[in-house]
């Protein structure tokens, strides 16, 4: 019997449907002829906790640190024991095993660690699938490879998991124990990803709190021309006091000029007109969808993720949602072109958006070369019963369909016009936009972002009919919300200065992955490090104190970039995992030596931030004894979740 082990049930179903024969479902598996397809449920295994290596580690002590497992151990996740037993039983009857994890580093780890944990010693083939369409899966089944080719990728993923364990377990214990010495009651959790995310919010909060507004001044003038009126803005020269963004810091020059402008005669000295074509926005990755849904509907990142899972699993209306890709396979073009007109008729909004589509058009989103382990979110083609969807589900479904539907609309075409007026020896500029072809734009907004200018002719006279100085102030940055924090995690390179680190962070997934970003935010909220105030996210006093007490490198994203550089080299057999872990231990010992009760006490005493809300109902088990609760929290902190970091 050939046994195929897929990463998730949806992939297992797609594989079974592409095999010749009639699928027959059994407990935890699907049989098709002489092939049985089973699946993992995400990670079935997790890193063992410290006390699995030595019972004395049940007690948290600074003199135990760093804890370094040797040899490393995995243990079943509590909710995964049943499926692990299914795979164990099927392996005993198998003559050949096929690894069908996602074609990426974590997918390689997820299935292979199960195969090795269950001590399979026979041959293993590798099945690489990034498109769940039946023809694509059938082609992949005809191109099985030897899994040995992907051992370097497995070692890189395994090294990442072990490094995260070493980093999280040891620093969490160190800072929790130091916090106790400084009078803090509770776990202070530290992680390679969650702590830099918290650091982003803390630094933004401090930037807002320490912001000093600076006044600046702008001068506008209304110019009467042959066919209308144009409002233009003064461009003061370098002889005036300007800030680094060219804003005028002194009011007097603007006021003096404004007094001389009314009825002054000038001319249109420069006129630049350029036609622009803009392709439709791409279909969504999960993070891009979370950003747009937060902006449009104020949905939290977790709310969007949970809604997508319901649309995928319960309603089967969209494809696999935890994707970091914004492109679709070319083979999806024809099925979508066929299905979209029918499914859009189920909803008035979708029907309106569909009316201008040209389903012979092939947008730039259909590009096999840019499809990775997963493709972009897309409708499955199933006709929705909108009455069975909640309001949130309906809104998120419309967004997913809209961005795919946009690929069948024409480019947006505009004429961008920039005008420069000269009067009294000074320059005033205006800009406008003329819509030539609406294309995909009506699917996203019905308003003009830049109003058009009246017809203009270079050199024509222009008389000033009115002018005024406006007094303004610089404004602090906005606090983070779900949308902007997810976007910051996606584009974290903008928050670092080192060019090599910037490049690595651009090439990697930033902080977290599509599957984990919402969970990271929720974890920080549940642990009381972040507080949600309406739509804004702020760090709590505890969050501020934790960041202030840690060495600065532990609170910034550079470490993720440096890890990614070496993990990439390990995955290409250009680096050694033992050397990486050895260097990490040296770094870890340096960080542990910085754990200081005095610094912690000072951080706790001077921490800004807001008070955290009480723990959410259901996030922690109520316990009568305070000591018992403390022990449970420590054990939880001692077992960081697995999966993609």
Count CB neighbours of 611 within 10 A.
10
Name residue, tokens 């809300």.
Answer: 613
Q: Do residues 223 and 266 touch, judged by C-beta distance below 8 A?
A: yes
Q: What is the 3-state secondary structure (H, E, C) of 277-319?
A: EECCCCCCCHHHHHHHHHHHHCCCHHHHHHHHHHHHHHCCCEC
Per annotation, catalytic residue among 320, 327, 495, 529: 320
Query: What gap in Å lies between CA 554 and CA 362, rounded to an integer?
Result: 46
Which residues have a Cβ under 8 Å from the Cβ of 504 and sit 6 or more positions away? 561, 562, 564, 565
Q: What is the 3-state secondary structure (H, E, C) of 243-274?
A: CCCCCECCHHHHHHHHHHCCCCEEEEEEEEEE
Question: DSSP characters for 584-640?
Answer: HHHHHHHHHHT--HHHHHHHHHH--SBPPPPPPTTSS---S-HHHHHHHHHHHHTS-
Helix (H) or strand (E) holding 223: strand 215-225
Query: What gap in Å lies between CA 539 and CA 544, rounded to an integer?
Result: 6
Residue from 426, 454, 466 nearest 221 by CA: 466
Q: Where are the alpha helices (DSSP H) in 133-230?
A: 134-141, 151-181, 194-209
φ, ψ of residue 178 in degrees (nearest 5):
-65, -40
Query: What gap in Å lies between CA 90 and CA 294, rounded to an integer?
Result: 44
DSSP state of 511: S
Query: What gap in Å lies between CA 60 and CA 457, rounded to an integer?
Result: 78
Measured CA distances, 418 to 246, 248, 269, 432, 454 (Å): 18, 21, 11, 7, 12
320 is catalytic: yes
Two tokens, residue 425 = 């020896």
Which residues have a Cβ under 8 Å from the Cβ of 240 and sit 6 or more positions away? 248, 250, 253
What amino acid positions are annotated as catalytic residues? 320
């Amino acid at each position: 019997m050939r046994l195929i082990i897929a990463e998730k049930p949806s992939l297992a179903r797609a594989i079974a449907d592409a095999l010749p024969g009639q699928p027959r479902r059994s407990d935890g598996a699907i049989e098709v002829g002489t092939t049985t397809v089973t699946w993992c449920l995400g990670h079935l295994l997790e890193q063992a906790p410290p006390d699995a290596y030595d019972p004395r580690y049940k007690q948290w002590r600074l003199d135990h640190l760093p804890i370094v497992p040797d040899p490393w151990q995995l243990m079943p996740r509590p909710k995964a024991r049943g499926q692990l037993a299914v795979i164990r039983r099927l392996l005993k009857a198998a003559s050949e095993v096929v690894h069908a994890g996602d074609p990426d580093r974590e997918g390689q780890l997820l299935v292979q660690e199960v195969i090795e944990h269950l001590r399979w010693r026979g041959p293993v083939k590798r099945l690489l699938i990034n498109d769940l369409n039946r023809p694509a899966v059938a082609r992949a089944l005809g191109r099985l490879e030897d899994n040995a080719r992907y051992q370097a990728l497995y070692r890189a993923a395994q090294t990442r998991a072990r490094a995260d364990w070493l980093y999280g377990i040891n620093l969490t214990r160190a800072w929790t124990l130091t916090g106790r010495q400084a009078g803090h009651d509770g776990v202070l959790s530290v992680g390679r990803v969650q702590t830099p995310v918290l650091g982003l919010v803390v630094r933004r909060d401090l930037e807002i709190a320490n912001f000093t507004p600076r006044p600046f001044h702008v001068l506008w003038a209304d110019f009467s021309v042959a066919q209308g009126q144009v409002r233009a803005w003064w461009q003061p020269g370098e002889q005036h006091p300007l800030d680094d963004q060219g804003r005028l810091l002194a009011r007097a020059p603007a006021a003096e000029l404004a007094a001389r402008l009314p009825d002054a005669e000038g001319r249109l000295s420069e006129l630049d007109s350029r036609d622009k074509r803009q392709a439709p926005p791409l279909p969504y990755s999960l993070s891009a969808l979370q950003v747009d849904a937060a902006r449009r509907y104020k949905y939290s990142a977790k709310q969007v993720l949970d809604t997508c899972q319901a649309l995928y699993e319960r309603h089967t209306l969209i494809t696999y949602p935890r994707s970091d890709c914004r492109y679709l396979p070319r083979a999806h073009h024809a099925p979508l072109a066929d299905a979209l007109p029918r499914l859009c008729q189920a909803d008035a909004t979708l029907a309106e958006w569909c009316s201008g589509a040209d389903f012979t058009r092939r947008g730039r989103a259909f590009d096999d070369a840019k499809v990775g382990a997963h493709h972009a979110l897309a409708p499955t083609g199933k006709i929705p019963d909108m009455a069975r969807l909640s309001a949130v589900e309906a809104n998120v479904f419309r967004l997913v369909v809209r961005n795919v539907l946009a690929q069948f609309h024409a480019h947006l075409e505009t004429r961008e016009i920039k005008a420069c007026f000269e009067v009294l020896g000074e320059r005033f500029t205006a800009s406008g936009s003329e819509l030539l072809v609406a294309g995909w734009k009506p699917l996203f907004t019905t308003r003009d972002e830049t109003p058009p200018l009246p017809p203009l002719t270079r050199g024509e006279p222009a008389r000033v009919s009115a002018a005024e100085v406006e007094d303004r102030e610089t404004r602090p940055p906005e606090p983070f919300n779900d949308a902007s924090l997810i976007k910051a995690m996606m584009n974290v390179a903008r928050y670092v200065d080192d060019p090599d680190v910037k490049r690595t962070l651009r090439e990697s997934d930033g902080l977290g992955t599509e599957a984990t970003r919402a969970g990271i935010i929720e974890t920080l909220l549940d642990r009381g490090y972040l507080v949600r105030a309406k739509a804004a996210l702020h760090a709590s006093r505890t969050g501020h104190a934790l960041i202030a007490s840690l060495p600065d490198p532990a609170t910034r994203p550079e470490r993720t970039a440096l890890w990614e550089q070496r993990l990439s080299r390990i995955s290409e057999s250009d680096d050694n995992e033992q050397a990486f872990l050895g260097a990490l231990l040296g770094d870890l010992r340096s960080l542990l030596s910085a754990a200081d009760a005095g610094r912690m006490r000072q951080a706790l005493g001077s921490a800004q931030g807001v008070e955290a809300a009480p723990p959410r109902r259901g996030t922690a088990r109520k316990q009568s004894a305070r000591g018992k609760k403390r022990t449970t929290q420590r054990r939880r902190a001692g077992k960081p979740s697995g999966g993609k970091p």
